[in-house]
């Protein structure tokens, strides 16, 4: 499981956008978003770089936790 700090998430739309962005690249990915902690946890075959890019491309500031 990879954990990322994501700035700018505030609502259900953010959760869906990030989940869909990751699953568009890896349909089997499991995505857990914690809005309170500003964290996204992902279980995926994708590399850290690919996951960072998927989240960044949705307009969020993201870094490894």
pLDDT tens, 28-45? Answer: 999 999 999 999 999 999
pLDDT above 90 coverage of the chain, percent: 100
Distances from the Cα of 1 to the Cαs of 5, 44, 47, in angstroms? 14, 7, 11
Ranges in the chain, pLDDT < 50: none
What domains appear along the chain, each with residue ranges and CATH number? 2-64 (3.30.70.100)
pLDDT on residue 17: 97
| pLDDT number for residue 25 | 98
For residue 38, what pLDDT is reported? Answer: 97
Q: Is there a contact between 22 and 54 (Cβ–Cβ < 8 Å)?
A: yes
Q: Can you give the pTM of this predicted structure? A: 0.94
């Amino acid at each position: 499981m990879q954990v990322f700090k994501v700035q700018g998430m505030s609502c259900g739309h953010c959760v869906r956008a990030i989940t869909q962005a990751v699953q568009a690249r890896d349909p089997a990915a499991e995505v857990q978003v914690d809005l309170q902690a500003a964290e996204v946890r992902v279980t995926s075959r994708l590399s850290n770089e690919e996951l960072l890019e998927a989240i960044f491309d949705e307009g969020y500031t993201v870094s490894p936790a």
